[in-house]
Amino acid sequence: MHQVASVAVSRPALQPRDLTVDDLDAVIDVRARSIGLMAPGSREEWLRGARTAVAERRLIGVFDGDRLVSAARVWDFTQWWCGRQVPMGGIGGVVVDPEYRGRGVASRLMGALLHRCQERGLMLSALFPAAVPVYRKLGYEFGGGRHRYSFLADELRRLGGGDAPLRRATPDDAALLLDLVTQVRAQGAESGPVGWPQAEVREWLGEEDTFAYVADDGFVVYRWEGSDLQVDELVAGTETTARTLWSIVGSGASIARTVHAYLAPYDPIHLMLGREAAKATEQQRWMLRLIDAPGALAARGWPPGAALDLPIEVSDAEIPANAGRWQLHVADGLGSLDADPGAGRDRLRLSSRGLAALYAGTPMATLRVAGIATGGTADADRRIDAAFGGPAAFMLDYL
Ligand SMILES: CC(C)(COP(=O)(O)OP(=O)(O)OC[C@H]1O[C@@H](n2cnc3c(N)ncnc32)[C@H](O)[C@@H]1OP(=O)(O)O)[C@@H](O)C(=O)NCCC(=O)NCCS
């Protein structure tokens, strides 16, 4: 048996940097090896979005010398938390060349993305994890779900009771649709949904396969999915508008047997139909991380009557500015996190994952059993749950 002498070859360090348009072919190659080939015809659309991301410094890669081995994108979103919008960096398209996996490349890339979120003033970050441990190690934790329900189109057709005046929506209605969303999310004190930049909403409304109708206090955007229909978003401020918009989609029942829709688990349609949604509801879970803890706690909404004056200690290896001893104060619908270096009795201790899960409304008892919260008191836990709890956080979009 021959033994091969091992020679120590010095490799240039793996370095993250902003991508240029010249790197995009290499990104397409790593993506193909990581998540599959792009659907025929979608390359041009992907390149359009990627060029914008390059121009806005939202596309970052890791290089081995001149060779691109990993890439991902940041989106400038907002996210609703108890009815208020908080700047959020959506992370998507994390890919690592198969030859470079298992060497900390994704972790390196994510470190650069967290830093970029900080620079852009994004107070939160969210993503859909294909490999949970990669993101847990970086302080992300599950924040909520994305639920896809399926209804019989004929049930929706027969909903009736809606005669709200409607018209077709066009790309010029982007600002109007965003206003309607703002009203409904604020009124419902909703948590989780993503707020898109107006230019993206414009583009969405201009897509050839998108059908959109708008009423005074709501809208629906839907499309064909094979011979079924798929609702991308339906927002309604009143029962009449909800019935009108769902009936429009259900009027496709002569061709479409099923209507799929991304919805909150507590969406009113569940209470309006005579039949429950199909048992096989799809659920994907997304993860959340606080990038700027004081900013994120000040920007979000709080339930009426929520009151906290709580000494906490946060550990955060990746974002040291979040770490340390704080006083969390919530009163009159406003929150603040102030440095509080004192000893502080009964201080609640949270890891960055614990803080993210708490922000998303996870009960204190869950955080304790999962080992991501310690200290504090049982009495404080009840008040913490009342402040952070509320309707379950959900998302409609895949990032
Ligand atoms: C998932 C992926 C991005 C990981 O890249 P990577 O460079 O190998 O990851 P890292 O080396 O930085 O790993 C970080 C940690 O996550 C763990 N990890 C990595 N890949 C994992 C996987 N597939 N499943 C579970 N854990 C994984 C590692 O063990 C490591 O933890 P450790 O330090 O405790 O050992 C890469 O395998 C990939 O591109 N896969 C295909 C595309 C994909 O799934 N993208 C993710 C979209 S969210």
Q: What is the pLDDT of residues 346-387, one digit of tens each?
A: 999 999 999 999 999 999 999 999 999 999 999 999 999 999
Report yes or no: 232 and 201 within 8 Å, Cβ to Cβ: no
Tell me if 129 CB under 6 Å of ligand 1. yes
Does the beta carbon of 103 lie inside 6 Å of ligand 1?
yes
One domain, residues 206 and 236: yes
Residue 124 lies in a domain: yes
Q: What CATH number does the domain containing 215 carry?
A: 3.40.630.30
Q: For residue 3, what pLDDT is reported?
A: 39
Please give the average per-residue pLDDT across 138-148, as a whole number: 98
* Shortest-distance Cα residue to atom 12 of ligand 1: 104
- For tokens 């989106």, what's the residue? 75
Report the pLDDT averaged over residues 222-243.
Answer: 96
> Residues 182-203: what's their mean pLDDT?
95
- Mean pLDDT across the chain: 94
Of all protein residues, the one whose alpha carbon is nearest to atom 30 of ligand 1 is 134
Domain count, the chain: 3
Residue 396 lies in a domain: no
pLDDT value, residue 8: 45
Sign of CA dihedral 51, 60, 201, 243: positive
Residue 5 located in a structural domain: no
Residue 4's pLDDT is 39
Domain hosting residue 369, numbered range? 292-388
Are residues 115 and 153 located together in one domain of the fold? no
Of 249, 284, 319, the last residue of a domain is 284
Cα(66) to ligand 1 centroid in Å equals 22
28 and 127 assigned to the same domain: yes
pLDDT at 287 (0 to 100): 98
Residues 233 and 304 in one domain: no
pLDDT, residue 7, reads 42
Query: Residue 3 domain-assigned?
Result: no
Residues 117 and 182 reside in one and the same domain: no
107 lines ligand 1 (CB under 6 A): yes
Cα of 134 vs centre of ligand 1, distance in Å, is 5
Instruction: Take atom 9 of ligand 1 and give the residue whose Cα is closest.
Output: 106
**In terms of domains, do 153 and 280 share one?**
yes
Which of 79, 70, 86 is closest to 134 using CA atoms?
A: 70
75-84, 271-280, 342-351: which is most confident: 75-84
Assess whether 169 and 112 both reside in one domain. Answer: no
Atom of ligand 1 minimally distant from the CA of 91:
48
Residues 268 and 333 grouped into a single domain: no
Cite the beta strand spans of the chain per DSSP E: 14-18, 59-64, 67-81, 84-96, 124-127, 141-152, 167-168, 194-195, 211-215, 218-225, 228-236, 258-262, 282-290, 308-315, 324-331, 334-339, 348-351, 373-375
126 lines ligand 1 (CB under 6 A): no
Dihedral sign (CA 201, 202, 207, 212): positive
Statement to judge: residues 18 and 125 lie in one domain: yes
Nearest CA to ligand 1 atom 29: 102
Of 139, 167, 191, which residue sits at a domain end?
A: 139
d(CA 231, CA 225): 10
**Residue 94 identity:** V
Q: What's the CATH number where 365 sits?
A: 3.30.1050.10
Point out the ligand 1 atom lying closest to the alpha carbon of residue 103: 11
User: How far does residue 109's CA lie from ligand 1's centre (Å)?
Assistant: 11
Q: Is residue 399 part of a domain?
A: no
Rg (CA), the chain: 23
127 and 94 within one domain: yes
Query: Is the model more confident about 82 or about 344?
Result: 82
Q: Which of 85, 115, 139 is the last residue before a domain boundary?
A: 139
Same domain for 157 and 264: yes
Kindly state whether residue 9 falls inside one of the protein's structural domains: no
Cβ of 95 less than 6 Å from ligand 1: yes
Q: Separation of 338 CA from ligand 1 center, angstroms?
A: 35
Q: Are 353 and 135 in contact (CB under 8 A)?
A: no
pLDDT in tens, 150-177: 999 999 999 987 899 999 999 999 999 9
Q: Which pLDDT does position 161 carry in this prediction? A: 79
Note the pLDDT of residue 63. 98
Ligand 1 contacts CB of residue 110 (under 6 A): no
Residue 2 lies in a domain: no
Q: Which atom of ligand 1 is nearest to the CA of 30?
A: 39
Higher-confidence position of 258 and 10 = 258
Tokens of 300: 């979000």
Shared-domain flag, residues 211 and 276: yes
Q: Is the CB of 94 under 6 A from ligand 1?
A: yes
- Give residues with Cβ within 8 angstroms of 161, minimum separation 6: 239, 240, 243
**Within a domain: 397:** no
